[in-house]
Each structure stands twice: as C-alpha cells, then as structure tokens.
A and B are shown apart, each in its own frame.
Chain A
Amino acid sequence: MTTTDAISKPDAAPPARRLWSGVKALPIAYVGTILLLVCAALLRPNLLQPFLLLLILRQTAPLAIAVIGQSLCIRILSLDLSFGGVAMAVSYIVTSGMLPYPAPVLLLLSVLFGVAVGATNAYFIAIRKASSVMVTLAMVLILGGVVTALSQFRAQGDAPEILRYIGQTRIGVVPVAVLVWFAVLIPMALFMRYSVFGRYVDAIGSNPRAAGTTGIPHVKVVFVTHIMSSLFAVLSAFLLIGFVGFGSATIGVDLALNSLAAVILGGVTFGSGRGGMLGPTVAAFMLMFCFNLLTSFGLGEPGKQMAQGAIIALAAIAYAAGDRRR
C-alpha cells in the first residue's frame, strides 16, 4: 500500500513549451542583457563599438568583484550593504597620506582593515543575531562618519602608482582591471562549486534550521562569508581608486545597491539555495550597460537611482511571485 508514494512525473510537455519554461527559469540578467543590446543596436548603435564595450567592461570590473561578495552573502541569507563605507575608508587609508608608509604596506593595511570590518559584521550578525541589513548600514554610518570627520584634517590625495596601473593600463586590448576581475572570479567560482564550503553555503541558503540540525558550522560560514565579502569590497575599492587616479569621499557609494541589484537580477534568490556566479556577473555588465544607455538618453544621477530602485523592486517581486507559484 504505497499509493501515496507517487513521484512527480517527468515533464511530458512538448519541446517548445519545455524550451520556454527553460528560458523562464534563466536569470533575468541573460534576457535583460540581450534586450538591452538589441535596444542599443536600434537606438544607440555607437554604444556597441568594440572599444566602448571594452570600456564598459572595465567599468564593470569593480562592481562585478563586489557582486561576488554580495552573492555569497545573499546565498547564506545575509546581506552586506557596507561596501560604500569600506570603499571610503580604503580610499582614505591609501590616498590621504595620514599613514606614512609605502604603498604596499598601505594596501596590506587595507586588506587587514577589510578582514576587521567583515569580522565585525559577522560578529553582530552571527553571534548577536542582529539583522544583517541593520548591522551593515550601521557600519556605513560609522565608517562614513569617521572618515568624513578625519578628512577635515587631511584631504585625500593621489592614488599609488600600482593602483593607477591596474585601473588604467591595458595588456593588448584588454584592460588590466578586467584581467584582475577574471583572475578573482574564476577561482572563486571553482571554489564555490567544488569545496565543502560551497556545499555548506547551498545548505544554509536552502534551510538554515536544517543546517543547524545537520551539524553545519553556521556561525563559521557566516564569518568566512562576510570576511570574504569585505575583502572583495576592498579589492573593488582598489580598482575604483585606480580608475579615478585619486582618493575621494564618494568613491563606491553605489557599490552596495548596485551589487544587490545585480545579484537579484542574476538569479540568486533568498531561500532557494540556488545561485551561481555567472548570472550575477552577467547582471553586473547588464547594469553598467544599462546606465551607459540611460546616460546616452540624457538621464542623470537621479534617474539612475530610480532605475536602481525599480530594478531591485521589480526583480524581487518577479522572483517572489515565481516562488509563490511553485
């Protein structure tokens, strides 16, 4: 008597419909990117020139690196909105001349600083069990407040040579920044796919309570993830400082929200335990391309902000509605 042991039958739908449902399951970013490219081809064909595309790709690099960190956080049902604060502080450490050390030491200090911020975030999130959004937003207030207050005494200066090299040079036609991006992305994607850590992340994302009863070290995973996330933010800040050539208090203010938008567009959703690296990466490019397109239509900073908000809200609603139906 095992009549209730019915297995859900494999799809018997015709190939066309299966293809369609396959397309629907893809992250919004893929379809979105294609739509944007088509849109550009029709309305602003010069955006598709190879050198401009490479430029946009270079522009994407810092965001895409931050996106790696954000996607890790979201996959364990957390969130890191402290990227802007981290970038601001790194910019100050590296360019203000407040610390009289050579560039490599400053970069190392920035990395250690990233570890400290990540660990602090993780402490409040995992041990004190405070909401990650609140913790990381508080972190932005703290870092932003301290750096702005300190900047009154000493203005930020030029970027170190090495960062300018990474930010502004090309090898052949390929910008060094893009190489750095892929040099980080590919090992990270492989690590997430083949390591025990990657499996823990999937499990926690799928059901944190079950992760608890299965003996998965949840707290440790949160620490590692948030430290990684802050380190990616530091690297992202390095690239941004390199592009601009000098430090600034507004560097990276967009990173947190843009990375959140990219991760959601890239198909990493809360509570599904799913999500790869490719979707968010494509989404980062899509966002940058979209902003360039909007700029070419004469949309300013406020319009970009509205687009950010609308994209996050609509993508989140679309995925949530999809999950409901399932």
Chain B
Amino acid sequence: MSEAASAPAAQGRVEFRNVTKQFGSTRAVSEVSFSGRAGSIHAVTGENGAGKSTLMKMLAGVHVADAGEILIDGRPVSFPGTAAAREEGVSTVFQELTLLPNLTLAENMFLGREPRRYGMLDRQAMRRRSRDALASIGIDIDPDVTCGDLALSEQHLVEVAKASVADSKIVIYDEPTAALDGPGTEKLFRLIEEQKKAGKLVFYISHRLDEIFRLCDTTTVLKDGAHVATLPTAELTRDRLVSLMVGRELAQMYPPRATKAGGAALVVDGLVARSGRPGVSFGVKRGEIVGLAGIEGQGQRDIMRAVAGLAPGISGNATATDRQGAVFPVGSSIVANTRAGIGFIPEDRKSEGLFLSLSISQNIALGMLRKASMFAAAVIDRGRIAALMKQMAVRARDAGQAVASLSGGNQQKVMFGRWFSADVDLMLIEEPTRGVDVGAKAEIYRLLREFTENGGAILMTSSELTEHIGLCDRILVVREGAIVAEIEGARATEETIMTPALTGSHGERAAA
C-alpha cells in the first residue's frame, strides 16, 4: 500500500471503505476495504460467488452499496446508474454481453452517449468513431453490421472497444477472456497494457491464475463476500493464491473418489446437440461422477441439455439403464426423463431451478411426485422430507419456510433434495456449487458422493477446474462441441485439462 500512497498525482485512485451489499438474506459483499492506484492493473479474484462482480458493479453504477463508501481520488461517490459512473470516468466491460442484437455495431458502441447534431443522431460521427475504436484494438468490422450477426468472440471484442471509446480513467473488465479465442485474448492484453501506460486504473476480474500472474500488478482476493488480502502479485505464488481463494486445503474439501464402478447408467452414442457440431459418444457408469470440462461456451452445456431433454439433440442416441436393469431412451423430453428417473439441476438455481416463493417442502415434494398421475392425490412423505433436511444439514426454521429466504448454499441443497427424495438413478448437474459458500460446498460434495456410492450416477459440468479435479472420477474435455480428451480424475491437473481444452491435442494423455 505504501507504494500507492507515494504515487505522484494519483488521478483515478479508487478506495473501497467497508463496502457492503446484501441481496435478500445473502450478503454478497461484506465490509470490503482496499484501494487501487492509477497506472496499474489490479486483479480482483476469488471463487464463483465470492462477490467479485457484485463489488465491481457498485463501482460501475449497476448496484448501490448498502453500507460503506467508495472514493475516487479521495472523493466519495455514489452512482445511481451506469451513465453516472461513466461521467465520473468509470467504464465497464461486463461479463454478460450487453450488446443488443438488433442494433448495429456503431449504435451499440454509442448507446447511452450518442453524438448528436441539431438534436438528431449523428450517425456519421458514430460510424467514424466506431471504426477508429475498433482499429485501435486491431479489428476490422463494418460498423453498420447488426450485432446479432457477429460471432460470439467478435461481440466480446466489440464490447471491449465500446468501453475504450469512453474517455475513462478507470476501466473494469469482468472475466473478459471467457469467450475469447487465443488471438482475441492477445489483442485484449495489448489494449490493457496500453491503458495502464496511459495512467488508467484497470480492475481485472478473473479466476484464471495464468492471466493474473501475467498481467496484473496487484491482486485482491475475496472469499464469501469478504476481503481476504490485497498484495502485490510479485509476492504471490500460485499455491498461495489458491489457498487464499479457497480458504482451506483442497484435500479437505472433497470426499474420496468412487470405490466401485457398476454397470452402465448412461450411454450416449453419436449425439449431435446442435447443428454444425460433431457427434459425441460417452458413457457414465453407476457409482461414477463424470465431468464435462473445457473453456466456457464450447458445447458442454448443449450436450448436457440435449441429454436432459430440454433442448433435444439433432441426431444420435442416448439410453439410460435404471437400477433394475431396464433400458430406456433419454433426451426426447424432460418430462419423460424425469418420470424415468433422471434428475436435472440447472446452473442458475434462482431463475431455472427453484420455486422461490414456495416452501422447502413444496420444492422437495415435486420430486416425490415425479411418477404420479396429474389427477391423483399428492402423497407426500413429510417424515422423509424432515429426515432429508437433517441429513443435508439444511439450515432453516422448518420445512414450511419459503426457499427465497434461505442462503445460497441451503437453496442449492433444497434443489438437490428434490432429486434425492425422488430416488432418481442419474443426475445431470450443471455447476453443482455456483454461488455457494465454502462450507456448503464441502457438504454438497459429500452428498453427491453419497448418492453415487448408493448406486446413483452423475454427469456434471463446472466452470471451476478445481471442482472437476477434486470431485470427478473421469473428466471429458470438450472443445468445439467434440470430446477431445478423457482424463482419470485422480490423475487430472489444471494443465492436463487445459492443454486439450485450448489446443484439442491429446498430447498430455499420451505422455501420461
């Protein structure tokens, strides 16, 4: 910190003082204090749900802090909207794409700060200035093209260019490389370096260690919404950073791996999840947890949802075998899947997974009713629900409490409880622990392992490599919709997964 204090004319210095943000009963950010200085690249890191994005969104004007204050150049600021933040010189590249698919590139670039002549839009100026901004980061796209027609990686670069046209002294990047390819990433890094040289303060949200060590001067680690440390990156090692992020040794987090693998639970043969993608074939055995890993957006989710019957595949076959040995087709519809004993856990529990306004018991009971006829009486085993809540250590007043009032971890457990109570044979899980604190994570891992030890099988995706490495028995690496590598969980490392995920080569496996 002493370094920052002695920096000359620290224009663009940002200080967070006891900043707190609460969503319902969850504290997303809890009394965070640290500061960043001009002319530096400042990493903000932590696991999923650590509060990185929420914290930065308060600086960006998306959220307003519930308590504490944010100071820019020593002056407290509070932004009611992104426009206000931009006026103070804060521009943001959000993780979510904010480009509107029906507007042209130039219109998107200047949305909210359109140049005008005689009160009308100055389209010529918009076009000219967009072309310049795009050229400055080395891309050449027609500014009149409709953004919905651009490839995903192009859209992300445009997003970056959009933030750079604003004359800002503070730039926030939220996981900017998630959807970029290699050359795109290089362009972005060059731009960020230039912004640093120009004396700007760059906040770089990421949980990719490589990028942090390569790019950032200072690193702030958050965990469960709280500030853990702010240190010069040079003083950190990879192991130290990971233990700061996770807060405990990895070995303690994860249960032991499968003791017995049984017969086939799921067999997927030549499944084409989306047109233009290759067919994939793989299997999951009873007692096994299998992970679909890879860079985000490479098709793991499509495969998952095709098997789940939510977005039925184009062609190919998938069959499941239940505990009694009956074989049945899967993936034609989620209703049939569920009746047959396959539970699906979506990645976004609030919008897709839970019935927030309903009680814990109502949420879980829907699983118990999976085979019932619509016109039959709903037979609910309340004793079973109570026992399950106890077994899962759900912290709640009683089973009648609305799910909305639970913390993220407990909500996640309720979602799993629905399928545990339904005695399903196979679970398809997207992101088993997104936005869940570390304690609840360990409990969820234990529950999942119990499920497979009792004869269940799990196919999962996760954006956290550590989760794949710690939990899975086998890891299938997906790249451009194809399975490019299969790695035994016990032998997997970040490198053995990332190499095929990035290059598609099986080199690592041959070496092992």
Contacts and interface: CB of A to CB of B under 8 A. Distances in A.
State if A and B touch, Cβ cutoff 8 Å: yes
Interface of A: 1-8, 10, 194-200, 202-203, 206-207, 209-217, 220-221, 224, 271-274
A207 B370 CA distance: 17
A285 B254 CA distance: 60
A212 B352 CA distance: 8
Interface stretch (B143-151, B160-168, B272-280, B331-339): B331-339
B365 interface: yes
B405 interface: yes
Contacts of B335: 215-217
Interface stretch (B197-205, B207-215, B317-325, B434-442): B434-442
B107 interface: no
Interface in B418-451: 418, 437-440
B35 interface: no
Given A7-B396, A203-B355, A214 B224 contact: no
Given A195-B375, A195-B376, A4 B355 contact: no
Contacts of B26: 4
Given A4-B409, A212-B310, A224-B374, 14 more contacts: A1-B437, A2-B439, A4-B407, A5-B437, A6-B27, A195-B375, A197-B375, A199-B366, A203-B362, A207-B356, A213-B308, A213-B344, A272-B357, A273-B358
Given A214-B366, A216-B335, A196 B357 contact: no
B346 interface: yes
Contacts of B378: 194-196, 198-199
A216 B354 CA distance: 13
B351 interface: yes
B34 to A, nearest CB: 20
A7 B406 contact: yes
B64 to A, nearest CB: 16
B369 A1 contact: no
A209 B344 CA distance: 13
Contacts of A203: 355, 358, 362, 366
B225 A220 contact: no
A196 B369 contact: yes
B20 to A, nearest CB: 12
Contacts of A197: 374-375
A224 B439 CA distance: 44
A200 B378 CA distance: 10
A196 B397 contact: no
A289 to B, nearest CB: 31
B184 interface: no
Given A206-B357, A215-B370, A4 B375 contact: no
Interface residues of B, number: 52
A2 B440 contact: yes
A198 B374 CA distance: 9
Contacts of B418: 214
Contacts of A210: 346, 351-355
A271 B353 CA distance: 15
A5 B407 contact: yes
Contacts of A1: 224, 247, 437-439
A63 B438 CA distance: 55
Interface string B354-384: 1111100010011101101111111000000
B25 interface: yes
B376 A196 contact: yes
B39 interface: no
A-B CB proximity, top 6 nearest: A215-B338, A206-B355, A2-B439, A8-B405, A196-B372, A5-B407
Contacts of A6: 25, 27, 407
A213 B352 contact: yes
11 contacts: A1-B438, A3-B224, A4-B225, A7-B25, A7-B401, A199-B365, A210-B352, A211-B355, A212-B352, A213-B352, A271-B357
- Most chain A CB inside 10 Å of its own CB: which residue of B225, B247, B339, B358: B358
Contacts of B397: 7, 10
B376 A274 contact: no
A5 B357 CA distance: 19
A303 to B, nearest CB: 37
Contact of A213 (B334, B395, B408): B334
B130 interface: no
A199 B369 contact: yes
Given A5-B439, A5-B440, A7-B25, A213 B407 contact: no
A215 B355 contact: no
Contacts of A216: 335, 366
B384 to A, nearest CB: 16
Nearest to B336: A215
A178 to B, nearest CB: 27
A271 B355 CA distance: 10
B410 interface: yes
A202 B365 CA distance: 12
Contacts of B375: 195-197
Nearest to B379: A196
A196 B310 contact: no
